[in-house]
Amino acid sequence: MRSSRVAESMKAAGGGVIVNVSSTAGLVGYSNSSAYVASKWRVRGLTKAAALDLAADHIRVVSVHPGGVRTPMIASIYNPEAFAKQPIPRVGEPDEVAKLILYLVADATYSTGTEFIIDGGSTVGQVLNV
């Protein structure tokens, strides 16, 4: 990672932040999606290794793990009932993810190699009284 173009540019600038976007599929398994799940787990490892490699250059590296977010990717399969049992019973909005990323870049100055989950609580478990 030290020799990547982005890292070299950030090093020359005195530091920076790399935000890798993964998915909750990088935290838990999903059936019939093994290649997708494997790629998202890879982002976690890459984030942690890069955080260690780039720390001396004042470059922080974090990952964001969205759950269901209203995007074209889920448009054809979106079903509100799928979100009814998560603690925040709705689909996420793109601007919510963007606000988290802005926070990570601007304000989370003591975080590196860390995973940030934005999923309405879906990876916590299900609310059973719904």
Q: Give catalytic residue positions.
A: 36
SS3 of residue 60 by DSSP: strand
Taking the C-alpha atoms of residue 71 and residue 65, their distance in angstroms, rounded to an integer, is 15
Q: What strand order describes the sheet that includes 115-118?
A: 16-21, 59-66, 115-118
Tell me the torsion sign for CA atoms 9, 11, 15, 16: positive
Cα separation values, 29 from 24, 120, 123, 128, Å: 9, 17, 11, 21
Show the tokens assigned to 46: 């890459």
